[in-house]
Structure 1
Amino acid sequence: MHIVIGLIIAFVLVAFFARRNRGTRRCRWREDRTRNRGTLRKYKCAACGAEAFTATKGPPESCKANLPKT
């Protein structure tokens, strides 16, 4: 009985974390340190070519592929 409960909890946790990263699943962000602007960090997606600046540590949280490029 404990094994079944453990498996159910593990399944729920895996499903939760897989859904949390759903917005960036297809993007593979690479930091371009030569193009940083002060505290803003530039990232470019290796998959779709989208570019984004972030002020937070780490890559963008969402995919920018569907946004119009400027």
Structure 2
Amino acid sequence: LDHADFCYLPSVCGNCKALFRRFFFNASSQQCEEFIYGGCGGNRNNFETKAPALMDAWGGACPQPS
């Protein structure tokens, strides 16, 4: 994936059964949103806190909100 491609990936809970609170950049809403991550699998659109998701998203990797 190109650096910006992860911005368009959906949130993916993964294959495991843990309940980790994570954040992803939602390209449709142009917002960083919370989801539950199972602990394994998933994709790069997965951040432990809201700040890195927004920094990557709005720092040039992903489209900036209008």
TM over 0.5: no
* Higher RCO (CA < 8 A, seq sep 6+): 2
Greater radius of gyration (CA): 1
User: TM (normalized to structure 1)?
Assistant: 0.27
User: TM (normalized to structure 2)?
Assistant: 0.28
